[in-house]
Amino acid sequence: MNGIGRFVVYEKMKLSHTLLTAAIACGLTAGSASAGSSGIARSSFRPETRLIVKRAPNFGNDTALNLYIDGRHVASFTYGRQYEGMLPAGDYLVTMRQTPHLSDAYVYSQQWIRVVPGRTNVFTAFWVDAGARIQLDLGG
Strand order in the sheet with 121-128: 82-88, 48-55, 121-128, 133-138
By the 8 A CB rule, do 115 and 53 touch? no
DSSP state of 3: H
- pTM (2 decimals)? 0.65
Domain ranges for the chain, please list them: 3-42, 46-138
Q: What is the pLDDT of residues 41-63, one digit of tens each?
A: 334 667 899 999 999 988 888 88
- CATH code matching the domain that covers 46-138, chosen among 1.20.58, 3.40.50, 2.60.40, 1.10.3470: 2.60.40
| Residues in CB range of 115: below 8 A, 6 or more apart | 49, 51, 87, 88, 89, 90, 91, 92, 121
pLDDT tens string 17-36: 666 566 666 555 554 444 44
Model confidence band, residue 126 (pLDDT cutoffs 50, 70, 90)? very high
pLDDT of residue 37: 36
Per the CB < 8 A criterion, the answer to whether 137 and 124 are in contact is: yes
Residue 82 contacts residue 43 (beta carbons within 8 Å): no
